[in-house]
Structure 1
Amino acid sequence: MAALYAGDKLEKCNWCLENIIATADEPVDSRLVQYLLTDPTCDGGQWEMIVNIVEKYGVVPKNVYGECISSEMSVHLNTFLKSKLREFTEILRGMHADGVEIDEIREKKNEMMQIIHRIMIIHLGTPPTKFDFSVHDKEKSHVYFPDLTPQEFYAEHVDVSIVNDPRHDYNLTMTVDKLGNVVGGKRVFYINDPIEDP
């Protein structure tokens, strides 16, 4: 779904730049900084990551905002965004090294995010803010939902991610440090559940 894809890429870019600011005192070749820059806009992610995107941007049916070349074949957009993020990293880290105040660094980051947003619009088009939706229910009756926002269309979700990781205790929640995509969004948590034999 192109709308979720667009929101995810935009938020992953923001997540990367926020973490670059947060790690500005780390050496650029540290494992953490290198991890942040290796594949900052990779496709996919964890359950909470998609929940964060859905809760922030809502959901748009594919027949309203369909796929395009950049959403179906993401390698070119991902490569371009990674290059821009590395360019922006150099600028932000340079500002920090020069003693620039954090408010000015954040202002610069916001300007960078406007550039990222323009890139996303060029590649993916503008996601709709309102749309009409119609379906046939199980009785084959036509049901029409006019003038919906993506957030209105998104009505409910299951907020659980279950994993099986025998390295950790079962029936407890677990998380991974610095794993996420939306600044201020939900942290990624898993319920570590044993696999039972059928």
Structure 2
Amino acid sequence: MDSRGTLTDEVLEGFRKMFYSQEKNVLARNVCSRTDPFDAAQSSDILDEMQPVFNHKVEPEGKPMTDQRGTGLCWLFSGLNLMRLPFMKEYNLEEFEFSQAHLVFWHKIEASNTFLYNMVKTAQNKEPLDGRLMTFLLRKPISDGGFWHILANLVNKHGLMPKKNFSEYYNSSYTSKMNDVLGSMLRQYAKAIRDLVAKGGCDEDIDNLIQDQMSNIYRVVGICLGIPSETFTWSYYDKDKAFKSIGPVTPKEFYEKHVKPFFNVDDKVCLVSDPRPTFEFGKLFTMDYINDVVGAKNCIFNNQPVELLLDLTAKSIKEGEAVLSSCELSRKYSSWRHGMHLKT
């Protein structure tokens, strides 16, 4: 057996002695073993400079502050926050939230259905079960992740509801257990689909199988989240304490008549900055297996230099329109100060 690269006792003892030879390592261990190492590494002097005061500010501010809690639904929460600003201004509202749980429900339904039809596609393409693609798809059949286009597709198909008409429950705020159950079901269903395709099942047989599978998925999601009402009436007081009421309307009618005139999801584009040589700036690109709504628009990304993204973001804010952005900031973010400083 090749012993090259083995961590021998002598090598490990050398690491240990080197660690304890520097007092700063012991100090850092005492601190970081008791708290978040990123927070511990941030400069308090620099963090003290953080103030929520800006040269330009989008009005009105969205209130109340929203909280995605134990989910990975940042894209959904931030997207709905973006949409509520012009809506609140138009309807003269002090506070307002769209129902996140409403779209969480439909995202789980649509994403599950998309996964099952992806299993049909991969089976018909004879993708090997132990290949990279199938390993990737089966590792996490359903998750909370998403993009702007997925939110837009969900809104266009299923509409919007005020949060007062479909509230948060435990499983919409902490989705991991529900996702685990759905993931286990979807893996079992994937095998049944592959078996049927291998036997030469026709499209009708496959569609009928998936419809039966989706009825079980719908039941589980409905039990976990509740099922959004087909129609609702939204009653509210505006800033002038005047009573108003809209409805009964369907969620889709609510979006089409009362939100879309002030915020049309189809008017927005998704700019990204991917500097890899295989992705040219100034070009559009997409990816396979990332859309979560069968039959809806595909996710299209417009690749541009990061400098352009920063410039357009500043211009949008100066003109009073908020921007949805997604970036890696974990090392710059202070969880206990609830802010970010680029110098940290």
Could you say which TM-score interval applies, normalised by the shorter chain?
A: over 0.9
- Structure 1 CA distance for aligned equivalents of residues 238 and 300 of structure 2: 35
Question: Which sits farther off after the overlay, 69-78 or 150-159?
Answer: 150-159
Q: Secondary structure at the match of 1:60?
A: coil
**Matching residue within 213, 227, 230 for 1:126:** 227
**Matching residue within 288, 300, 313 for 1:177:** 288
The 8 Å contact of residues 141 and 187 in structure 2, kept in 1 or not, is answered as no
**Matching residue within 245, 266, 269 for 1:144:** 245
* Structure 2 unmatched ranges of 5 or more: 1-99, 312-344
**Matching residue within 114, 117, 122 for 1:23:** 122
Which residue number corresponds to residue 98 of structure 1?
199
Matched, 1:87 2:196: no
Q: How does 1:63-74 map to 2 (within 5 A)?
A: 63-74=164-175
CA distance 1:19–1:134, shift in 2 (3 Å): same
- Structure 2 CA distance for aligned equivalents of residues 92 and 49 of structure 1: 25
- Structure 2: which amino acid aligns with 1:29? D
Matched, 1:77 2:178: yes
Task: Calculate percent identity across the aligned residue pairs.
Answer: 35
1:17 positional shift:
0.3
Count residues with an aligned counterpart: 198
**Matching residue within 109, 124, 132 for 1:10:** 109
CA distance 1:134–1:194, shift in 2 (3 Å): farther
Over alpha carbons, which structure has the higher Rg?
2
- Structure 1 CA distance for aligned equivalents of residues 281 and 127 of structure 2: 35
1:172 positional shift:
2.7
The 8 Å contact of residues 235 and 244 in structure 2, kept in 1 or not, is answered as yes
Q: Secondary structure at the match of 1:129?
A: coil
Question: Which sits farther off after the overlay, 62-71 or 148-157?
Answer: 148-157
CA distance 1:136–1:163, shift in 2 (3 Å): farther
* Structure 1 unmatched ranges of 5 or more: none
Q: Secondary structure at the match of 1:63?
A: helix
- Structure 1 CA distance for aligned equivalents of residues 243 and 280 of structure 2: 49
Which residue number corresponds to residue 163 of structure 1?
272
Per-residue deviation, residues 124-156 of structure 1 (Å, max 9, x unmatched): 111011111134445554332121210122132
**Matching residue within 292, 299, 318 for 1:188:** 299
Q: Secondary structure at the match of 1:23?
A: helix
Question: TM-score, with normalisation over the residues of structure 2?
Answer: 0.55
1:195 positional shift:
2.4
The 8 Å contact of residues 271 and 303 in structure 2, kept in 1 or not, is answered as yes
- Structure 1: which amino acid aligns with 2:297? K
1:56 positional shift:
0.9
- Structure 2 CA distance for aligned equivalents of residues 153 and 165 of structure 1: 37
Question: Which sits farther off after the overlay, 148-157 or 179-188?
Answer: 148-157
- Structure 2 CA distance for aligned equivalents of residues 178 and 75 of structure 1: 21
